[in-house]
Amino acid sequence: MKITDTHNKPSEGCNLEVSFSGFGSEFNQGFISKENYKSWLKLKDNILWNQFCENILEKDGYWEISDVSSFTALNIDFLKIEIKTNSKTYFTGNYNEFIETFFEDEGEIPNSRNESKIYGANNLPDNWDTFFKYEEFNKRDKVLVTTQTSENFNVNGELKIRGDFNIKKFGLIGLATDEMGYGVDFGDYAIGFRYEDENVYCEFPGGIGNLEAPSFA
């Protein structure tokens, strides 16, 4: 972890540069029919999920099963943050170090923004205690599929801000997977950052990671 004290003289503005790196995923959730789910169970030992989507479901790829949620982002548990102001390093470290250094009392970043509702639909069941039991599952005519890739990202963004940089005005733009789909927790993610009320979304490459086995609910 590296911190640089930048008590600059009052200025007209500051160029804020933020870099995020670490492990992340392309995350998709969508529904398939119970019949297609049963077909997958029969074929899964001999075919990859993406091949199943193309050949059996007649999709362009796994990413088309995304009518519930879809995003590409960095997992906060593995997030490394670098902040520069006017090309000078202000902070370098992981997410936990960032919290401990600047927001230990709060335990979170107050100016962060949760955009889970924009990137995913909430289908939380009313009967949570019984919903995931086998008997209830058999009653449903469609199955929720969750897919994730495993990949490392290095993304960045810039923002011209007024006055000197104040870390308390900084925040992340985050997504919580337990607020999407059936509420199963697949981790919290960061897709960008914000300063005061201005948002910067990082651009993530797509389709380059290893696709994990699908998860069904």
Other Cβ atoms within 10 Å of 144 Cβ, number? 20
Per-residue pLDDT tens over the stretch 101-120: 999 999 999 999 999 999 99
Residue 125 to residue 182: CA distance in whole angstroms: 6
> If we measure between CA atoms, which residue out of 27, 158, 10, 171 comes closest to residue 85?
158
pLDDT at site 137: 84
pLDDT at site 4: 53
Indicate if the pLDDT at residue 43 is higher than 50: yes
Other Cβ atoms within 10 Å of 161 Cβ, number? 17
pLDDT at site 30: 97
Tokens of 133: 């039991």
Residue 186 to residue 176: CA distance in whole angstroms: 8
Per-residue pLDDT tens over the stretch 163-216: 999 999 999 999 999 999 999 999 999 999 999 999 999 999 876 789 999 999
Task: Identify the DSSP state of 111.
Answer: T
Tokens of 100: 């401990």
The DSSP bridge pattern shows strands 170-176 and 13-33 to be unpaired
Residue 131 to residue 19: CA distance in whole angstroms: 41
